[in-house]
Chains A and B, each alone.
Chain A
Amino acid sequence: MSTIEERVKKIIVEQLGVKEEEVKLEASFENDLGADSLDIVELVMALEEEFETEIPDEEAEKIRTVEAAIDYVKNHAND
């Protein structure tokens, strides 16, 4: 079983089409990983499905970096 961090990173790699080594904790989706606003919406959707949780819009807006995504999932995921 992969850790939450590994699973989140894997989704980011898949959704944004970036290399694994680019997905550093401090990387910003928009500034470092080339995501636009719709890419981020899709990323959040993918996280919701992977971790079977619903991320409210006001929380989703705060998920702008790899670390923020991992932290959110760690604090809210059902498993």
Chain B
Amino acid sequence: MSDLMNLEGQVALVTGASRGIGKAIAEQLVARGVKVIGTATTEKGAQAISDYLGANGEGLALNVTDADSIAAVLKHIDSTYGQLDILVNNAGITRDNLLMRMKDDEWDSVMDTNLKSVYRLSKGVMRGMMKRRQGRIINISSVVGTTGNPGQANYCAAKAGLAGFTKALAKEIAARGITVNCVAPGFIDTDMTKALTDDQKQAIFANIPASRLGQPEEIAAAVVFLASPGAAYITGETIHVNGGMAMV
């Protein structure tokens, strides 16, 4: 077998790539010779992505809850790059609230952005991947999709939904050389976890054997592995990257 980590010349789409985990994923893919199209919700975010990617790809504005926006981005990738090998569904939001107080729009917006978007984007890229008999779909889920977390019924439901979606799609298209997997981060040092209160953090640390937050690069490394030729026989799986916080 040739180099099992070689991704040279491949093309990847990473949603939510302007900061945090998505940015780390984009940067590590670029380091492996991948052309990366990173998306952000705003033009400003897209520009920031273009700035850090330089000649190794570009940033595009994408609203993952809008079918037309997705179609436009995929069309652009097709006409500009002619192929898409790796889809990383990373874009996600939180709208935390106790269920007793949760509003419909808090539920719906998390479902739309974190789960329905993955259905739409995966469907959109499958045609090309099936024809080429090659592809990687990697969904960024979360440890709380497995363990649950108070105040995040919407987020946990969406992330657990991703795992089921991943398994079903993995079975549908495994024979076509396409793998579908999840990477489930634990508590990672990003803007999303900076929003936690000190009390919340203390409670969380007590449950992390590694007794620290994870770094975005440590999630990106798992994503790069799943994207690599060496991971061709892994599909429908979730890799948990959480410092021992949950072992499943």
B is a partner of A: yes
* Residues in A lying within 8 Å of B, measured CB to CB: 38, 42, 45
Instruction: Tell me, yes or no, whether B131 is within 8 Å of chain A by CB.
Output: yes
A38 contacts B172, C-beta separation under 8 Å: yes
Contact with A along B145-188 (1 / 0, CB 8 A): 00000000000000000000000000011011000000000000
B176 contacts A45, C-beta separation under 8 Å: no
8 contacts between A and B (CB under 8 A): A38-B172, A38-B173, A38-B175, A38-B176, A42-B130, A45-B127, A45-B130, A45-B131
By a CB distance below 8 angstroms, the chain A residues around B176 are: 38
By a CB distance below 8 angstroms, the chain A residues around B127 are: 45
By a CB distance below 8 angstroms, the chain A residues around B175 are: 38
Chain A residue nearest in CB terms to B176: A38
Chain B residue nearest in CB terms to A38: B172
By a CB distance below 8 angstroms, the chain B residues around A42 are: 130
Kindly state the separation between the CA atoms of A74 and B173 in the bound complex, as whole angstroms: 30
By a CB distance below 8 angstroms, the chain B residues around A45 are: 127, 130-131
- Shortest Cβ gap from B135 to chain A (Å): 14
Kindly state the separation between the CA atoms of A38 and B172 in the bound complex, as whole angstroms: 8
Kindly state the separation between the CA atoms of A76 and B176 in the bound complex, as whole angstroms: 29
Chain B residue nearest in CB terms to A36: B175
Known interface pairs A38-B173, A38-B176, A45-B127; 5 further A-B residue pairs with C-beta atoms within 8 A, sorted by A's residue number: A38-B172, A38-B175, A42-B130, A45-B130, A45-B131
Kindly state the separation between the CA atoms of A42 and B127 in the bound complex, as whole angstroms: 8
Chain B residue nearest in CB terms to A46: B131
Kindly state the separation between the CA atoms of A38 and B127 in the bound complex, as whole angstroms: 11
Kindly state the separation between the CA atoms of A45 and B127 in the bound complex, as whole angstroms: 8
Kindly state the separation between the CA atoms of A45 and B123 in the bound complex, as whole angstroms: 14
Kindly state the separation between the CA atoms of A66 and B130 in the bound complex, as whole angstroms: 22
Kindly state the separation between the CA atoms of A38 and B175 in the bound complex, as whole angstroms: 10
Contact with A along B103-145 (1 / 0, CB 8 A): 0000000000000000000000001001100000000000000
- Shortest Cβ gap from A55 to chain B (Å): 13
Chain B residue nearest in CB terms to A37: B172
Kindly state the separation between the CA atoms of A38 and B131 in the bound complex, as whole angstroms: 12
Kindly state the separation between the CA atoms of A38 and B130 in the bound complex, as whole angstroms: 10
Pairs of residues from A and B, 5 with the lowest C-beta to C-beta distance, nearest first:
A42-B130, A45-B127, A38-B172, A38-B173, A45-B131
- Shortest Cβ gap from B169 to chain A (Å): 11
- Shortest Cβ gap from A45 to chain B (Å): 6
Chain B residue nearest in CB terms to A39: B175
